[in-house]
Structure 1
Amino acid sequence: MYSNIIVSRQWPRVACLCRTLTNIEGQKLPQNSKSFDGITPPPRIPRGPTDILQALAATVGHDPTATHYKYHDDPYLIPLSNFRKRAYALSAEAGRKAAAWIRDEHAELFSMRQWDPPGKKKTPHFNADPHIDAYAPRPIYNDESQVTEEDLIYTINNALIEDSLKVFQLLGGLEGVNDELKLQFLQLLCFYNEKEPDSMEWLEERWFAATTRDRQATTWKLGGLADKIFTAMEPKTSEAYCTIIQGMAKYYQAERAHELAQEALEKGIPLSTSVYNALIGCVGFLREGTTLRMEALKSLLTQMNEQGLSPNDETLTACLRSISAWGGGKMLQELALQVVAEFKHLGIHPGLSAYYYLLCLFCKERGPRIDILSTILTDLESREKIEAMEATDTNFFITAMGVCSDHLQDINMAERLHMLLMKGDNYKLVGDAYKESIYYRHLVTIACRHAPFERTTELLDTLVPNVYVPEPSVMEEIIRTLEVAGAGDRLAQAWSQLVVFGHAKRTKLVEKLVEAMTNTYQYQDEEVKSKMRSAAVDIFNFGELMTEQEENKDVRAPALPKLSATALSNIVELCATSEDAASASWSAAEAALRRLQRGDATGVPARPQALAEVAEKAAAVGKQGVAAAAVAYLAECGFEEATAASVQVLSKILNRTNEEVLALLQEPQINLSSSLQPSAMSVVESYHLAKTGVPARDAADSSTSSDSDSESTSDDE
């Protein structure tokens, strides 16, 4: 009875749909290039799903001071030290690992309806819409699993080595799989050498693993399943030969790989260019000596020409990789240049990997200085876009920056290289977090050594700390640069950076900073001096806090090295320049002197005259305890400055001339003890200790004992 109502309601929707289709049809571009009204619309440009977002991002520009996207964009949550960055990234990845573990260990929670009624049969389902295979639980295969060839195809396509081995056994092994699927399985085994590959999901673990170079050694699994499958395959096709040869060459089973290549050529089986590229990469394992290796390389290239195979970019990279691994010398360098010239004649230009191996060959650490990098940069700068072709492409920029810093020591070349990295999308070629840190380490180091101070500080303000956190060696270079430039304000800020970066416990680095502040202190204005004194007080208080923690910690833990006597003396010198006797800097100076007297420092001060001047300043502002402690320490260490310092300090404490003080010091100390205050009496004792080298009490005891001896002798007589 409701059919008429339903139909009448549908008519407006149908009419609206027809009008919409008519409008869309009218908006279509004409197929020909010209219209009847004389207006020629432009051809349609295909757009991707993110083109609008990229266009909007291009209008904003890149913020060089922004932190990495994997960290929270909050000033209170952004990690500012290498340890915290590593811990932050790995902890976030550990959470993803925990989720993956729950997914794999309790797969039934994600594949069956657990909330169905008790009497209803459990039905399979997918939680995600659309369904994503990478997030779905992996199937589990055991001895009781009923598998088909589709299961083997699934494990091969997803690079599940252990599961594919299990499924291959369940299917009956060599006799239960067809030849086409057997070839795919052989390709998987040869590519991974029958070992489970590292997961591509856990990027942070691989980024912070600090593995910069693969170990070149024979790791091919001899007599493994791959060899058995290849031996059992009849007839052996060209694909089978290419697969097994490339697998052996990849894992440096060079001799057997070349034997199979010769066997294929004798049987008239064609080989691919990729096979020759793999053979060229391990040609150095076949011969001993540069001459024999060069002949073997030329022989392989000649075979490629005879087979009618055209080389490609990988061929050039393989040649240069082998040549750079053979050592150095002018002969190999000339060979590499000849190879590059021949490939350029064929229209093949070197990529980043090829240039990386050229740098390794020409720019040895202890070799002569050769400027090949300028030619490389000129070529790369002329290209509109640099594409990543091989995994070793990410080694180019860190190696090139290392060449600029250590080999060429050219800041202009380093700036050209950095501009090339920042051009377009080239920054993705810097590599992982570890390589990025190495790159900026070289860049900051060469900037501190060879760039003008203004350009260096601009670079540091841009990079530190969100993009790059300096290592201790780089931080030492920064402190040295600030010291040479006399930048007292930045030196005072450097202490807070050491605390934030986690370097405050590195004693040598702290001592370098204190020494730099001491050397530049006198050239600063009063505001900067106040900041430097505050930094010196904080350094001393931090050391006291660490000392307390050392006393309360476990005995088995390694002890932190103590500050040297020179560093404590510099802290005293910085803190004792305040005109306000009630400031905290004078308290820190007094505490540092007490620590020196207790022997809680290594060595002796390098500039004892500075402590003598501190004693005079302390006596002038009324800090007599500080003056007495400084003079006493100088006398105990046996410095000749203690005598003159004692006279000057007593002159200021007693408000007398130096001549009157010298006359006063000639009187017996017993007579002076009742008329002088304790601090002045301590200075007198220090004066006699410096003059005689014997403490006053010991001298008095020795004189008393000598008098008693003489009296006993006269009595005997």
Structure 2
Amino acid sequence: MYSNVVVPRQWTRLACLCRSLTTIEGQKLPQTSKSSDGISPPPRIPRGPTDILQALAATVGNDPTAAHYKYHDDPYLIPLSNFRKRAYALSAEAGRKAAAWIRDEHAELFTTRVWDPPTRIKTPYFNADPKIEAFAPKPIYNDESKVTEDDLKYTIQNALIEDSMTVFKLLGGVSSVNEELKLQFLQLLCFYNEKEPDSMEWLEERWFSANMRERQAATWRLGGLADQIFESMDPKTPEAYCAMIQGMAKYYQAERAHNMAQEAISKGISLSTSVYNALISCIGFLKEGTALRIEGLKTILGQMNAQGISPNDETLSACLRSLSAWGGGRALQQMALQTVAEFKQIGIQPGLAAYYYLLCVFCKERGPRFDILSTIIKELEKQDSLDAKEPADTNFFITAMGVCSDHLQDINMAERLHALLMKGDNYKLVGDAYKESIYYRHYVTVTCRHAPFEKTLELLDTLIPNVYVPEPSVMEEIIKTLEVGGAGDRLAQTWSQLVVFGHGKRVKLVERLLEAMINTYPGQEPEVQSKMRAAAADMLNFGQAVSEEQETKDIRTPIQKLSATAVCSIIELCADSTDKADPNWKSVDEALRRLRREEAAGVPARPQALANIAQKAATIGLPGIAATAVTYLAECGFEEAMSASVQVLGTMLNRSEQEVETLLTEQHSSLAGSLHPAAQAVAEAYNLAKTGGPVLQDSERSSSSSDSDSESSSDDE
């Protein structure tokens, strides 16, 4: 009864299938350049899965002021200090590590599906289709595991050192594994020295890891599993010799590697180019003195020539790396140039690693100046793109920029180098976060010292803070540059940058900024001066907040105090106002109290500035601040205290200086109850500066003074 319905449906499906086949056939482009109707479509160009995205990205270009893609594109969430960037990235990766831990510790959740009761059947289950091996749980091997040679192949292919050693022992050791698999296992052990390698999965840990120099010491495991496997092999193949020699040379067992190479040569076993490259890197451990080491290098290169082994790019890098590690001197420089010239004759051009070692040979920190970098950059500018061939390639740009900054001190060379780095896809060669920070440290430093002021400001606006967060030494260079350029507005902004970058607690940097603000303040516009006064007041409040925080936390580390000169600079900036209601005068009062409480290190370098501020405070009607300033000058023993006391008291009493001096000299006994508390404090400061002790009795002394606007000066001592 349903035949009238089913048959049309079948015909419909068949018609759709025919149309689909026709459409697909029509989409196929002819592979020939001509067709029968005269139309010649271009040949099909194979495209990758991300080619369209790359084409779209090329139309937009790179925004250097944007945050890294790993951070949220939100101004409130973008980290702006090196510490926060590191913490942000590592915390995100910690979540991925937690997920990986669950995957490895509870692998049954990802490999088996348990059905509901009553049967509770377990069936194999994969959480991805198709199955992705990188995301699948790793197999677990123990003493009770039943393994085969396929398991050993799996562990070798995935560089699971500990698991491969466990599987190898479960299979019965050296006597139960075929020779081909035994050789692969030997090569794995020699490459990693029987140690589990660092995981390549955690990018952020490697990106933010400290770039520690590798310890050059003999760490090869003598009598280990690799030695046992090699001794059990009969006959010993050239591949086995090559693996053992390279492993020993890599882990600085130089003498044994050299002896085994001589043994293989005496037996007529041919060694590979990689073996000789490894032996070249170990010459410095076998010979002493530059002459003997150069002779040893020539000997190894002669052996390669005698056996008909062709060198490669790594051979050139190994030669220059050894030469750079042996120190400096004319002989090593001539040998390096001769080596590069001979390799060019056989068609081997130096790469970035070779150029890096050349810079290490010629551009020593305290050596004579050599302009070899200009020749290197000229050669690299001829290439369309730079490709990474070995890990040392990422050392070139940071070293070259360091040469531009410290050795050559040439801003034009630095700009050419930076343009080369930004060309095409070359930025991948800048290295990890540590190397990137070193590169920009040198670049910003050489720009601040030798570039025009406008170009320096443009570079700072481009790089800071999303691309590069300056270190304290670089911030000091920036402050010096802004001071020379008279950029008061920028100096006021620099204080907020110090706080954001985490440098607000660095006393030396804050004092340098205050010095620059004092030097540039007079020539600024009123609006800029207002910003600089606000920044100075905020510095005082920030320092007070830090001190209170450390006291509440009971930190035993001594609190680093601002110097009295720096606090005096804050007072000078905040006191530049004739309005007694200006809130900055409160900062002046607080700064003076901190000076009297000895919360600043040392004494001011410009006591006359405090004397001028005391006179100004008395003139606008702030006698308490004037009395505190004069008293502090007297307590410190400055010679300006006497003249400042006379001038301030004359302003308070509206009398001439001669009358004030007569009053202080002849009528001092009657001053105790007849003067305003602030004027009385000034009179005591005068006597203290003159005789070294007060005339008025302590019972008659007032420790605080206030004006009509409740401005006060307190004596805490």
TM-score range, shorter chain: over 0.9
CA RMSD after TM alignment: 1.6
Distance (Å, rounded) in 1 between the aligned partners of 2:164 and 2:278: 26
Q: Please list, as runs of the form range in 1=range in 2, the aligned pairs for 1:314-463 lying within 5 A after superposition.
A: 314-463=314-463
Per the alignment, residue 606 of structure 1 pairs with 605
Match for 1:490: what amino acid? R
Per the alignment, residue 97 of structure 2 pairs with 97
Distance (Å, rounded) in 1 between the aligned partners of 2:596 and 2:160: 68
Per the alignment, residue 287 of structure 1 pairs with 287
Per the alignment, residue 47 of structure 2 pairs with 47
Once the two structures are TM-superposed, the CA of residue 260 in structure 1 deviates from its matched residue by 1.6
Once the two structures are TM-superposed, the CA of residue 700 in structure 1 deviates from its matched residue by 12
Secondary structure of the residue aligned to 1:496 is: helix
Per the alignment, residue 33 of structure 2 pairs with 33
Distance (Å, rounded) in 1 between the aligned partners of 2:629 and 2:220: 71
CA contact (8 A) 2:672 2:696 kept: no
Per the alignment, residue 110 of structure 1 pairs with 110
Per the alignment, residue 706 of structure 2 pairs with none
Distance (Å, rounded) in 2 between the aligned partners of 1:54 and 1:273: 38
Distance (Å, rounded) in 2 between the aligned partners of 1:184 and 1:116: 46
Per the alignment, residue 676 of structure 1 pairs with 675
Per the alignment, residue 661 of structure 1 pairs with 660
Match for 1:188: what amino acid? L
Secondary structure of the residue aligned to 1:673 is: coil
Once the two structures are TM-superposed, the CA of residue 115 in structure 1 deviates from its matched residue by 4.5
Once the two structures are TM-superposed, the CA of residue 396 in structure 1 deviates from its matched residue by 0.8
Per the alignment, residue 714 of structure 1 pairs with none
Per the alignment, residue 61 of structure 2 pairs with 61
Counterpart check, 1:594 vs 2:582: no
Distance (Å, rounded) in 1 between the aligned partners of 2:638 and 2:31: 99
CA contact (8 A) 1:614 1:627 kept: yes
Distance (Å, rounded) in 2 between the aligned partners of 1:532 and 1:458: 22
Per the alignment, residue 632 of structure 1 pairs with 631
Deviations 1:408-450 (A, max 9, x none): 1111111111111111111111111111111111111111111
Distance (Å, rounded) in 2 between the aligned partners of 1:488 and 1:105: 59
Distance (Å, rounded) in 2 between the aligned partners of 1:670 and 1:328: 80
Per the alignment, residue 184 of structure 2 pairs with 184
Once the two structures are TM-superposed, the CA of residue 3 in structure 1 deviates from its matched residue by 5.9
Once the two structures are TM-superposed, the CA of residue 212 in structure 1 deviates from its matched residue by 4.3
Moved more, 261-270 or 390-399: 261-270
Match for 1:593: what amino acid? L
Deviations 1:657-714 (A, max 9, x none): 223323322332232233321111211111122122222247999xxxxxxxxxxxxx
Match for 1:510: what amino acid? V
Distance (Å, rounded) in 1 between the aligned partners of 2:2 and 2:117: 36
Per the alignment, residue 649 of structure 2 pairs with 650
Secondary structure of the residue aligned to 1:696 is: coil
Secondary structure of the residue aligned to 1:6 is: helix
Structure 1 gaps of 5+ residues are 702-717
Once the two structures are TM-superposed, the CA of residue 153 in structure 1 deviates from its matched residue by 0.5
Counterpart check, 1:263 vs 2:275: no
Secondary structure of the residue aligned to 2:122 is: coil
CA contact (8 A) 2:627 2:682 kept: yes
Distance (Å, rounded) in 1 between the aligned partners of 2:239 and 2:324: 30
Distance (Å, rounded) in 1 between the aligned partners of 2:2 and 2:296: 89
Match for 1:631: what amino acid? V
Distance (Å, rounded) in 1 between the aligned partners of 2:114 and 2:537: 64
Counterpart check, 1:559 vs 2:545: no
Deviations 1:467-487 (A, max 9, x none): 111111111111111111111
Match for 1:379: what amino acid? E
Distance (Å, rounded) in 2 between the aligned partners of 1:3 and 1:420: 75
Structure 2 gaps of 5+ residues are 701-717
Distance (Å, rounded) in 2 between the aligned partners of 1:135 and 1:33: 45
Match for 2:179: what amino acid? D
Once the two structures are TM-superposed, the CA of residue 347 in structure 1 deviates from its matched residue by 1.2
Distance (Å, rounded) in 2 between the aligned partners of 1:264 and 1:440: 48
1:314–1:3 distance in 2 versus 1, CA, 3 Å: farther
Per the alignment, residue 620 of structure 2 pairs with 621
Query: Normalising by the residue count of structure 2, what TM-score does the alignment of the two structures yield?
Result: 0.95
Once the two structures are TM-superposed, the CA of residue 12 in structure 1 deviates from its matched residue by 2.0
Per the alignment, residue 685 of structure 2 pairs with 686
1:688–1:243 distance in 2 versus 1, CA, 3 Å: same
Q: Please list, as runs of the form range in 1=range in 2, the aligned pairs for 1:120-269 lying within 5 A after superposition.
A: 120-269=120-269
Per the alignment, residue 706 of structure 1 pairs with none
Per the alignment, residue 274 of structure 1 pairs with 274
CA contact (8 A) 1:220 1:251 kept: yes
Match for 2:330: what amino acid? K
Match for 2:433: what amino acid? A
Q: Percent identity?
A: 74
Secondary structure of the residue aligned to 1:687 is: helix
Deviations 1:140-187 (A, max 9, x none): 111110000010011001100000000000000001100010011011
Deviations 1:52-111 (A, max 9, x none): 110000000000011111111111111111111111111111111111111111111111
CA contact (8 A) 2:561 2:601 kept: yes
Query: Normalising by the residue count of structure 1, what TM-score does the alignment of the two structures yield?
Result: 0.95
Per the alignment, residue 571 of structure 1 pairs with 570
Deviations 1:102-147 (A, max 9, x none): 1111111111113543423211110122211111111111111000
Once the two structures are TM-superposed, the CA of residue 640 in structure 1 deviates from its matched residue by 0.8
CA contact (8 A) 1:116 1:122 kept: no
Once the two structures are TM-superposed, the CA of residue 337 in structure 1 deviates from its matched residue by 0.3
Per the alignment, residue 710 of structure 1 pairs with none
1:700–1:228 distance in 2 versus 1, CA, 3 Å: closer
Per the alignment, residue 640 of structure 2 pairs with 641
Deviations 1:481-530 (A, max 9, x none): 11111111111111111111111111111111111111111111110111
Moved more, 307-316 or 203-212: 203-212
Match for 1:493: what amino acid? Q
CA contact (8 A) 2:31 2:43 kept: no
Deviations 1:629-660 (A, max 9, x none): 11111111111111111122122222222233
Per the alignment, residue 521 of structure 1 pairs with 521
Distance (Å, rounded) in 2 between the aligned partners of 1:519 and 1:29: 74
Match for 2:67: what amino acid? T
Distance (Å, rounded) in 2 between the aligned partners of 1:514 and 1:3: 96
Distance (Å, rounded) in 1 between the aligned partners of 2:31 and 2:506: 73
Once the two structures are TM-superposed, the CA of residue 2 in structure 1 deviates from its matched residue by 4.3
Secondary structure of the residue aligned to 1:123 is: strand
Once the two structures are TM-superposed, the CA of residue 256 in structure 1 deviates from its matched residue by 1.3
Moved more, 256-265 or 318-327: 256-265
CA contact (8 A) 1:550 1:559 kept: no
CA contact (8 A) 2:627 2:681 kept: yes
Match for 1:28: what amino acid? K
